[in-house]
Amino acid sequence: MLRDAIRSLAEAKIAPFAAAVDEEARFPQEALDALTAADLHAVHVPEEYGGTGADALATVIVIEEVARVCASSSLIPAVNKLGSLPVILSGSEDLKKKYMTPLAKGDGMFSYCLSEPDAGSDAAGMKTKAVRDGDFWVLNGVKRWITNAGVSEYYTVMAVTDPTKRSKGISAFVVEKSDEGVSFGAPEKKLGIKGSPTREVYLDNVRIPADRMIGEEGTGFATAMKTLDHTRITIAAQALGIAQGALDYAKGYAQERKQFGKPIADFQGIQFMLADMAMKIEAARQLTYAAAAKSERGDSDLTFAGAAAKCFASDVAMEVTTDAVQILGGYGYTRDYPVERMMRDAKITQIYEGTNQVQRIVMARNLP
């Protein structure tokens, strides 16, 4: 029922704008409005904070169905979870009440600020600093590649509070867009997910009350990594949705397009491609849903499962979207058809929330 509801909403209110959002590289406001009106913009927020309390699998299905029509728009529910999960996992009750309530209401989105210009895969090498000053912390630094930066009201920011301790000297904070000293860089000019704003976040003597720290001092990096264990599954869901969208389009096209006097779907060469695409998607879906169940239960092998789902589903998305372009022939290579956008959008799923090389490192360190 959830899938049917979100699919109808996505097809009616998000799909019609997907091409324009990509072409104009503009924020998908129509998607945000539609998702917020249907309470689907941040489904993971627990009911006690006014949220819908969707479990990890339901959240995955929402993201998958939105990504099937518009990958950029699927980053609304996905990044709201990524940005706010550190608070849900490790924040004080006051912090949860203060920030989850407006998120659930649709009054402000959440972003996640871990990466920096010189600290990507090696996130613990970050330089952003937070220095204690009485009842305040003062933050200085640059966060890079921040999804929905400038649009979000709230930012989970990881910063060094003790430079002698590397990852154990990193703490997490909630920073608000309106805090003095917060500003944003120009939107990055990207290959895909052009509707999702990616910008630098500048922290220039940002003075925030001490109770905005998420959890204990020195636990920020652990919280950031624990968050990714859960949210990599949402990127797997995004990849899955993009791939399904490409398969659905290619299948329909193959039935319509005629060459040599018959639909190209009648050629075994095309049929085998479609069969392989569907097989890989189904395998990715099973891995993703199983990982979502592990996320919900907090299973001990979640780290492996989340990395495996993200890595596998994103590789499948890249393969399937590339094959979809192939099935459309020359038409697939143009912006008149959605599969070239899907192929460009798929690529990011192999890069963010840890590149697929990093996922393999994570899996190797956590072999079942």
Ligand X SMILES: Cc1cc2nc3c(=O)[nH]c(=O)nc-3n(C[C@H](O)[C@H](O)[C@H](O)COP(=O)(O)OP(=O)(O)OC[C@H]3O[C@@H](n4cnc5c(N)ncnc54)[C@H](O)[C@@H]3O)c2cc1C
Residues that bind ligand X (CB under 6 A): 111-115, 120-121, 145-147, 190, 193, 198, 348, 351-355, 357-358, 361
Main-chain phi, psi angles of 127, to 5 degrees: -115, -15
Residues in contact with 55: Cβ distance below 8 Å, sequence separation at least 6, in sequence order: 292, 296
Residues in the chain: 368
Least CB distance to ligand X at residue 73 (A): 14
Q: How many CA atoms lie within 13 A of 232 on its CB side?
A: 33
Choosing from 64, 116, 340, 353, the catalytic residue is: 353
> What number of other Cβ atoms are within 10 A of residue 183's Cβ?
13
What is the radius of gyration, based on Cα positions, of the chain? 21
Q: Is 353 a catalytic residue?
A: yes
Phi, psi of 4 (to 5 degrees): -60, -45
Is residue 239 within 8 A of residue 314, CB to CB? The reply is: yes
Report the residue number, 13 or 341, with the smaller CB distance to ligand X.
341
Q: Three-class SS of residue 96?
A: helix
CA distances from 359 to 35, 75, 231 (A): 30, 20, 13
Residue closest to ligand X (Cβ): 120
Q: How far apart are CA 84 and CA 258, in angstroms?
A: 49
- Whichever of 24 and 336 has its CB closer to ligand X, that residue is 24
Concatenated DSSP letters of 262-299: EEGGGSHHHHHHHHHHHHHHHHHHHHHHHHHHHHHHT-
Q: Which residues are within 8 A (CB) of 113 and not within 5 positions of it... i.e. 6 or more apart?
A: 143, 146, 155, 156, 157, 158, 175, 201
Residue identified by tokens 């009106």 is 37
Any idea which residue has 């990849």 for tokens? Answer: 239
**Residue with smaller CB distance to ligand X, 69 or 358:** 358
CA dihedral (268, 254, 193, 1) in degrees, to 10, reads: -100
- Other beta carbons within 10 angstroms of residue 175's beta carbon come to 24
Mapped onto helix, strand or coil, the DSSP state of residue 176 is: strand
In this structure, are residues 63 and 78 in contact, taking their beta carbons and an 8 Å threshold? yes
Give the active site residues: 353
